[in-house]
Amino acid sequence: MAPVIKLNSGYDMPQVGFGLWKVDSAVAADVVYNAIKAGYRLFDGACDYGNEVECGKGVARAIQEGLVKREELFIVSKLWNTFHDKERVEPIVRKQLADWGLEYFDLYLIHFPVALEYVDPSVRYPPGWHYDGKSEIRRSNATIQETWTAMESLVESGLAKSIGISNFQAQLIYDLLRYAKIRPATLQIEHHPFLVQQELLNLAKQEGIAVTAYSSFGPASFLEFNMQHAVKLTPLMEDETIKKIAAKYNRAPSQVLLRWATQRGLAVIPKSVRQETMISNLHCTDFDLSDEDIATISSFDRGIRFNQPSNYFPTELLWIFG
């Protein structure tokens, strides 16, 4: 079992979970079922991943077969950008819960701090970034305060046990903390040796917000988009320094990358559809790196961000990490 992180909401969150982005809906039910069998208890989903129905089927099968009880699982989902207007939040959460076949999410996050114009699920689901499904970006007027207040209502109505944020940076977090009646339990961010974001981590620590790292393997997740700055870099798992450290502990380079994050207090949510690698990823907390090795890996930092809209599509109208 993975260790847990105590959230400021009072709940325990597994420190190692399973990421569901780009898990093909054709295999998602089996992948989730197999991951539960392998010992995963946290699943990181989202409306945008387009596979919540199938992931829910995997969960249902595991529960039906007695592998696990609902309360032993920690299911995370996220509010997509087109549902930030206050009257859109609860209905879409109810739809997402119905898709999963669940009564509550353990954690529900604002996926990105940008509000886009509403697209009805009957028009297109998941809606994606573009209003017309092709190239048009239309922003909505919802403020983060409006959206956060609607998120707080989800806790009050029992639809989410904890709420949090993703892809937020320091300025906006300081602002949100001014009005939050319920503080964000977690902050989910891109985090790997090429993007350490130490000041953001310091802020989260000081404010008692747990941090979850996504894309822990750096460029690995972005090669399939043929992202040029991902393709050009030496993959972290093939880097000689990382490989040398891994050999010292008799571990896989992937486990070293995950341990570097968990040992510094973060949660991780690696995605792998392969049985052997998903098991290896889960077993990444039963050894300790030396302080020196942690510092060596941290020194890879180059401030390289892969997961930003302007890396995906040419529509130059959305610079949310600007």
Ligand X SMILES: NC(=O)c1ccc[n+]([C@@H]2O[C@H](COP(=O)([O-])OP(=O)(O)OC[C@H]3O[C@@H](n4cnc5c(N)ncnc54)[C@H](OP(=O)(O)O)[C@@H]3O)[C@@H](O)[C@H]2O)c1
82 binds ligand X (CB under 6 A): no
Helix, strand, coil share of the chain (percent; to 5): 40, 15, 45
Out of 7, 14, 35, 44, the residue judged to bind ligand X by CB under 6 A: 44
d(CA 271, CA 279): 11
215 binds ligand X (CB under 6 A): yes
* Distances from the Cα of 247 to the Cα of 75, 126, 242, 254, angstroms: 34, 42, 9, 12
Looking at 49, 108, 118, 214, which residue is catalytic? 49
Report 61-80 residues binding ligand X (CB under 6 A): none
2 binds ligand X (CB under 6 A): no
Tokens of 54: 């199938």
129 binds ligand X (CB under 6 A): no
Q: Is 11 a catalytic residue?
A: no
Out of 34, 51, 166, 186, the residue judged to bind ligand X by CB under 6 A: 166
34 or 272, CB closer to ligand X? 272
307 binds ligand X (CB under 6 A): yes
CA torsion, ordered 73, 78, 84, 87, to nearest 10 deg? -30
Provide φ and ψ at 110, rounded to 5°: -75, 120
Q: Which stretch binds ligand X (CB under 6 A): 20-28, 79-87, 156-164, 200-208?
A: 20-28
Nearest-5° Cα angle at 119, 113 to 122: 135
Computed on alpha carbons and rounded to an integer, the radius of gyration of the chain in Å comes to 19
Q: Would the annotation count 283 as a binding residue?
A: no
The residue ranges that bind ligand X (CB under 6 A) are 19-22, 44, 111, 166-167, 188, 214-217, 220-221, 237, 254, 269-274, 277, 280-281, 307
Q: Binding site for substrate: residue ranges? A: 111
Q: Report the catalytic residues.
A: 49
